[in-house]
Amino acid sequence: MDIRQLKAFVSVAELGSFTRAAQQLQCAQPALSRLVRALELELRQTLLERNGRGAQPTLAGKRLLDHARGILHQMDRALEDMAQLRGGQSGSVALGMPPSVARVLTVPLTRAFRAELPSVHLTIREDLSMALQDGLEQGRLDLALLYHPPQSEGIVASALLAEPLVQVQARPAGLIEDPPPAPITIRELAGLPLIIPSR
């Protein structure tokens, strides 16, 4: 059992997918599968239940996941402690963003992060706000940019930006110019057919 195997297993178990885990760890999927399989053979346990929807930890996998997270956390703390002795900063930061935000911020944020903190590893997870909140509460994310900050004792939320909410509709037939904007009430909005993101 080694650190690479544990990292591979934890990533697949948390993301529920070999494909997504390979992307997160920036390695080839066959290599990732070999690491997890070698760990299963060494422990003589099936750690992940593989199916068409991805991979979920078995009972043995869930128990190992708790141990593996603790081991990896202690390793990160040891690396950070040694870096502090050298006078530098190191470690890892896991950041979550909704897809609409990630499309705009991922590239400039990654460049700025590498320039300012070259010894710190940045992981960016793209998901819906509710899933990102779960990641924060379960310790898989260090920070996240969310819509509708959660009301949770374990999460500190700071407002960064407020966006206006507007109604968009097709121009009525026969109108050459857009009609002047008029406020609409929530009651009126509830009676209209809407296209909205799924939860």
Looking at the structure of the chain, the number of domains it has is 2
Of residues 39, 31, 33, the one with CA closest to residue 65: 39
Domain holding 111, by residue range, is 89-162
Q: Which of 34, 64, 87 is the last residue of a domain?
A: 87
**Cβ–Cβ under 8 Å, residues 109 and 145:** no
Same domain, 38 and 7: yes
The per-residue pLDDT for range 21-34, each reduced to its tens digit, is 888 888 898 998 99
Q: Is the dihedral of CA 110, 116, 121, 124 positive or negative?
A: negative
Same domain, 77 and 112: no
pTM for the model: 0.47
Tens place of pLDDT per residue across the chain (199 aa): 888 999 999 999 988 889 888 888 888 989 989 999 999 999 999 999 988 778 899 999 999 998 998 898 888 888 777 777 666 666 788 999 998 888 888 899 999 988 888 878 888 999 888 888 888 888 888 899 988 776 777 788 888 888 777 777 776 666 666 666 677 788 887 887 777 765 5
Q: What angle do CA 174, 180, 184 make, to 5 degrees?
A: 105
